Amino acid sequence: MKQEWLAVVEKNLTSMVFSTSAFSNDVLYWVKRYDNGHYHTAVSTGNRYELRSFEFYDGNISPCIITYGRINKWKCLKVKETGLDKTGSRCLITIADPKDQIQEIRMCGLNSKYYGGFRTAINENFYFTAIILFLNLLSKYTDWEHLEKRDFNLFDDIKNHTGVPLYIFDEAEEINSSVGSKYIGIDTVK
């Protein structure tokens, strides 16, 4: 069974991949990503890809949920990969507001006109940066009802159209590409 660890760095929210986890004051979250025995066959190529499961850990390698937000703390309880191909991953994420009301949200990346209008996948190594950015966006609201009343267009987009707003993926990619090889300086202790 293939297993990798994604680290979300606290300082700049970049995501990076490691073969193992280690205690680190620099890591906001560790995400264990491993093959789960389920497969997805890409419609365009017929290639078969093994889907992965995810477990969340804090910088001390203790199990946790992903929570983030400056005003109100929203939570990502679960990530379920629904599709995978050479372009990346498509997921459903389970998000709870500060009142623990839960919604399942699509996280699919770009809706590309150039590929017939279907959703292209997001880079599989950036989606935890995107989740943190999405939780931060939601933190302006006290709960799902407050979001619906204050910004119906965003609420409608999340529930009925794009899922995680598309500009979040651009921000996640920009954050990760601006750091480049600088991420190697992470301070880990075994």
Rounded to the nearest integer, the mean pLDDT of the chain is 84
Name 177's Cβ contacts closer than 8 Å, sequence gap at least 6: none
- The residue-averaged pLDDT of 114-140 equals 77
- The tally of CA atoms less than 13 A away on the side-chain side of residue 144 is 15
Neighbours of 90 (CB within 10 A): 23
- The residue-averaged pLDDT of 1-30 equals 90
- The residue-averaged pLDDT of 32-44 equals 88
pLDDT confidence bin for 44, thresholds 50/70/90? confident
Name 116's Cβ contacts closer than 8 Å, sequence gap at least 6: none
Neighbours of 111 (CB within 10 A): 14
CA dist 188 and 20 (Å) reads: 11
Place of tokens 């093994």: 50
Distances (CA, A) of 157 to 113, 161, 162: 18, 5, 6
Starting from the edge strand earliest in sequence, which strands make up the sheet with 27-41, in order? 15-18, 3-9, 27-41, 48-58
- The residue-averaged pLDDT of 88-109 equals 90
pLDDT at 125: 79
Q: Give the residues across from 55 on adjacent strands.
A: 32
pLDDT at 111: 52
Amino acid found at 29: Y
